[in-house]
Structure 1
Amino acid sequence: MASTRKRTRAVIAAGAALAAVGLAIAGTSAASAQPSADHSAKTATPITHVVVIFGENVSYDHYFGTYPQAANTDGTTFTAAAATPRNDNLATSGALTDNPNLYPPTRLAPSQAATCDQNHSYTAEQKALDDGAMDAFVQNVSVDTCTGLYAAPGLTMGYYDGNTVTGLWNYPQQYAMSDNSWDATFGPSTPGALNLISGQTHGFTEVDSKTLQQVATPGSYTVADPNTAGVGTVINDPDPAFDDCADKNHTSTNTLAAGSGKNIGDLLNAKGVTWGWFQGGFRPTTAAGDGTTYAVCGASHTNLAGASVADYSPHHNPFAYFKSTSNQHHLPPTSVAMIGNTDQANHQYDLSDFDAALTSGNLPAVSFLKASEYQDGHAGYSDPIDEQHFIVDTINTLQKSKEWSSTAVVISYDDSDGWYDHVAPVISNASTSAAHDVAVCSSSTAPVLGGYLDRCGPSQRLPLLVISPYAKSNFVAHNETTQPSILKFIEDNWKTGRIGDSSLDATAGSLMPMFQFGRTDGKQVLLNADGSVQSIAATH
């Protein structure tokens, strides 16, 4: 985010010009783009701002396998507080030295931060579990060779410690983390992102990339097990229907996924609560024209490994799968004051708009942040060090703002990438798809919620951190949560009601054990770019 923050002043100064361009495209008037009645301050807790930093592709053991004990042989030194509570990881469980997989867990050094991307498809992840034996990861998800990145046999068994993911180890020393948070369903990025905002991966149709009309004969990738009406479940990473930048600006022949249900954006709009999805590279490098051309998302950055990476990924934007919450042409907000409100941007923004809103004192009640791809932590094109720069810069800026006293930052992830985690899941939502499910799901006695196939889960543990003046300090929560637990916290805090239609928000565990609402310590914990502690001070 450091690169986008340099553009903050330019973004604010150019707001009127951007708005004028956007209004011409949208055919609206500035007079019509006024904030509606704002009920954002009507909350069930003292938290009036939630900021979700949604990262990519990390299992719990991959980042916290030996927490809080780091090797301290390289990288940034980490020393834990003496009273750090126990958590269930590779070291404490014994799985670090006594492991049933073909290769043992292996520490990855900071010099090995940029690695191959593992196989994290819906069925492959199920097979890796071997019906709960947790011993078939190498055979099913390990990707051991790739070009220009670190690779090794049995790479899926690799883990980092506090000498590499130093910031993510220092935050729970002062705030709260969970060792029992899970990917709600098996599979890659898009299902995890959809579960974050709607708790639902079913209810999607396959549409033509150019006409956006439903295809007559569904394929095997975009939606799984469609019914006679063509409605099925997303288990892969199809691009969203309502996004100009999808499907290589709609020039490819891939079909797209269109959702028909509700998401948290719809619920927040109905309650008059400000919100936004802020994603790196969302601001187009070429604006849409008069409807005959598409906006182009051409921005890119160079990652730690020296590769140029496109900033924006359409399938990482879950709101673009729903017409009601999409900003198809990537239009800018009509003004900084309208960020978080409903106007032509429709709550979908570039990360620079988050910077502008925060700087102007106009932070939406609910903000979802998605880093540019080079900083989102996804193996293959990002890494934990680039990711740390984004997280630390974002949280430092938030803690220096006037909104910090009422803010909760939640750091969560979309999926495990197939990286090994030693804990076997207890399946709570089964699936019996002949094409996609194996015994761990198809033989489970758990219900098939809604009768919807291909939503089996939970699958693997993921990191979850809560950073807030109201978060418990140096605390590890052990109650089970999933991505829809974040959705549920937002729903409960702003009293929006539930998504319905067998959304996983109804059964998700609670984030509340990670908070202490009876008091606030008011700490400001600033970190350096390498994740080490810069300062700890009281803010009141």
Structure 2
Amino acid sequence: MVIKPRNWSKRTRTAAIAGVAGVSALALVAVAGPAWAGDGWWHHGGGHHPQPPVSASTPIKHLVVIFDENISFDHYFGTYPNAANTDGTKFKAARNTPRINGLTPKLLKQNPNQNNPSRLSHEQAMTCDQNHGYGAEQKAYNGGKADKFVEYTETDKCTGQPILYGAPGLVMDRYDGNTVTGLWNYAQHYAMSDNSYGTVFGPSTPGALNLISGQTHGVYAVDPITGKKVTDAYTVASPDANGVGTVINDPDPAFDDCSGNNHTAKNALGAMTGKNIGDLLTKQGTTWGWFQGGFRPTGTASGYSVCGATHQNVGGNTVVDYSPHHNPFEYYKSTSNLKHLPPTSVAKIGHTDQANHQYDLTDFDAAVQAGNLPSVSFLKAGEYQDGHAGYSDPLDEQQFLVSKINELQKSKDWASTAVVVAYDDSDGWYDHVTPPNVNGSSDAANDQAALCGTKPAAGGYADRCGYGPRQPLLVISPYSKTNYVDHQRTDQTSILKFIEDNWRTGRIGDASYDARADSLTGMFDFWHRPNSRPVILDPSTGAVTKH
């Protein structure tokens, strides 16, 4: 049965779409009502009342962001929708599948890099991790020629349990729909972008911070034992006189017991200043949560909670589930859950209690089953399923993605839900599109002038050169367009901007990239009746089992 949102008239649709675009007719209506006093209460009729929840500006009442690891667009979608069908799961595209900006015959056979892109088979799912440093990725693009990936971001020799696949030219290589079948099938039935970018260059932590704040500046380093401010070049790039600078690496967060191997390592930890989207959502009473694999402690040691849960990936390698530097909210004291405390009840998931909106993935499952899905949810797989080469892979990632999306599609909230599948960084994998420069930096130690020197640095903050490499982005929802490729330029903070506009939180400020981000609304269709019939996939194969 197709469900039409109550009172979702053509006039309301128009207002809502304008609102998400940043000119909110609905927000203007809200201004005429009771006044927000900024203290957690509404002043109305001379009295103080608890703040009422903010209704969504569009039919999307639940946004679920699945934030996976380390994939460039060409690495997963370079030959979409054409698959070899020589191994893995068969894939056949619909006849009306739109074209993408992918790997042309010339790029496949006469690539300007040292090696041509080769197809990785289903049996080569476990590969070496590539170099995805802030500076190395810039060098790979070589001033816009995109011809130095082998020299600067390739890692073709590595070992694991078992030995990981590696070969000369590996950084150039790509999968097709016989291995990343689930993602290709979601693209067939929903909407994807071929013009979406990491907000800046570099590894996981900058990408995660940009997702929630659009800001990698504002970090200072602290001693892992005493918590006192220290000087550390790995944690803080371009520090000012107060030791505050920019994150370009992967320091662990300061407000997390599980950081630095339960604070036994000597490496400095990073503490972020400023605001993030969690702060804005909490202030207005909108429910939200970050759910990560392995967040639930397995014990304690020396007064610290221990995150010791492990799983085996498809290669038989045992991997610790929880990665502290993959959790951006733990860098901010205001949104951290230092001791990894559980929610006081399933009913409190998404609300502010001792868990402070930071949860284990099992808490997400409990919330969905109880019909208590928060308005905004961020999902982070345990490391073995997050897609990061070296310890994860596309097959384990598919298990996670499909299982969670199937779970949501079978829930009572699916008719008002949108799932965004996005990535934290490119891992250094080849992508032929040189990212557009929208924000500059002239740090000679880290930035390539040919890429980063053409624009001023917003806020005067160095080492935020962006956009970074192109990455996959998909929107899966009853309201997403069908078999659609969006060509509008977006970045990681376009997700942040959608949240801000849909729940009318206002902007982060302080030169956050959210102010310049383009919209995700081109991937939605709010004008027609939604298609609430789910597309259920097999988590093991990625094949469609029900439509």
Does the pair score TM above 0.5?
A: yes
How far the C-alpha of 1:40 sits from its partner, in A, is 4.8
Shift of 1:287: 4.7
1:443, CA displacement in angstroms? 2.8
Indicate the percent of aligned positions where both proteins have the same amino acid: 64
Report the Cα distance in structure 2 between the residues aligned to 1:382 and 1:242, rounded to whole angstroms: 26
Q: 1:309-328 counterparts in 2 under 5 A?
A: 309-328=319-338
Deviations 1:51-93 (A, max 9, x none): 000000000000001000000000000000000001001137x
Aligned length: 494
Secondary structure of residue in 2 paired with 1:177: strand
Q: Once superposed, what is the RMSD of the aligned Cα atoms?
A: 1.2
Following TM superposition, by how much is the alpha carbon of 1:440 offset from its aligned partner in structure 2, in angstroms?
A: 3.0
Deviations 1:172-221 (A, max 9, x none): 11100000000110000000000000000000101110111111xx2220
* Counterpart for residue 144 of structure 2: 132
Tell me if the contact between 1:278 and 1:349 (Cα under 8 Å) persists in the aligned partners: yes
Name which of 402, 419, 423 aligns with 2:412: 402
1:420-499 matches, within 5 Å, as 420-444=430-454, 446-499=455-508
With normalisation by structure 1, the TM-score equals 0.90
Which has the larger displacement, 37-46 or 247-256? 37-46
> Which amino acid in 2 is paired with 1:54?
F
1:142-161 per-position Cα deviation (integer Å, ceiling 9, x unaligned): 00100110000011001000
User: Alignment partner for residue 373 of structure 2, among 363, 377, 380?
Assistant: 363
Measure the CA separation in 2 of the matches of 1:311 and 1:419: 24
For the Cα contact (< 8 Å) 2:220–2:271, is it kept in 1? yes
Distance in structure 2 (CA, Å) of the matches to 1:274 and 1:151: 44
2:152 counterpart letter in structure 1:
N
On the 8 A contact 2:437/2:452 being kept in 1, the answer is no
- Aligned residue for 1:19? none
**Aligned AA (2:365):** D
Consecutive aligned runs of 4 or more in structure 1 exceeding 3 Å deviation: 36-41
> Does structure 1 residue 534 correspond to structure 2 residue 528?
no
2:197, 2:467 within 8 Å by CA — same for their partners in 1? yes
What is the aligned partner in structure 2 of residue 178 from structure 1?
A: 193
CA distance in 2, matches of 1:273, 1:159: 40
Cα distance per residue 1:233-272 (max 9 Å; x no partner): 0000000000000011001100000001100000001111
User: Contact (CA 8 Å) 1:432, 1:441: kept in 2 or not?
Assistant: no
Deviates more, 1:95-104 or 1:159-168: 95-104
Aligned equivalents of 1:258, 1:104: Cα separation in 2: 42
Match for residue 150 of structure 1?
165
TM-score scaled to structure 2, two decimals?
0.89
In the alignment, structure 2 segments of 5+ residues that lack a partner are 1-48
2:32 is matched with which residue? none
Counterpart selection for 1:42 from 47, 55, 61: 55
**Aligned 8 A contact 1:37 1:272 in 2:** no
Q: Does 1:376 align with 2:386?
A: yes
| Separation in structure 1 between the aligned mates of residue 287 and residue 386 of structure 2, nearest angstrom | 25
Alignment deviations for residues 85-133 of structure 1 (CA, whole Å, 9 cap, x no partner): 01001137x4222210000001000100000000000000000000000
In the alignment, is residue 300 of structure 1 matched against residue 306 of structure 2? Answer: no
Equivalent residue letter for 1:247 = G
Residues 386-397 of structure 1: pairs in structure 2 closer than 5 A? 386-397=396-407
Aligned to 2:243: 230
Does residue 141 (structure 1) correspond to residue 153 (structure 2)? The answer is: yes
Q: What code does the residue aligned with 2:281 have?
A: L
Matching residue of 1:207: 222
- 2:101 corresponds in structure 1 to 88
Which residue is equivalent to 2:81? Answer: 68
The answer to whether the Cα contact below 8 Å between 1:268 and 1:275 also exists between their aligned partners in 2 is: yes
CA deviation after TM superposition for structure 1 residue 441, in Å: 3.5
Distance apart, 1:523 and its partner CA: 2.4
Q: Which amino acid aligns with 1:145?
A: K
Q: Could you tell me which runs of 5 or more consecutive residues in structure 1 were left unpaired when the two chains were aligned.
A: 1-35
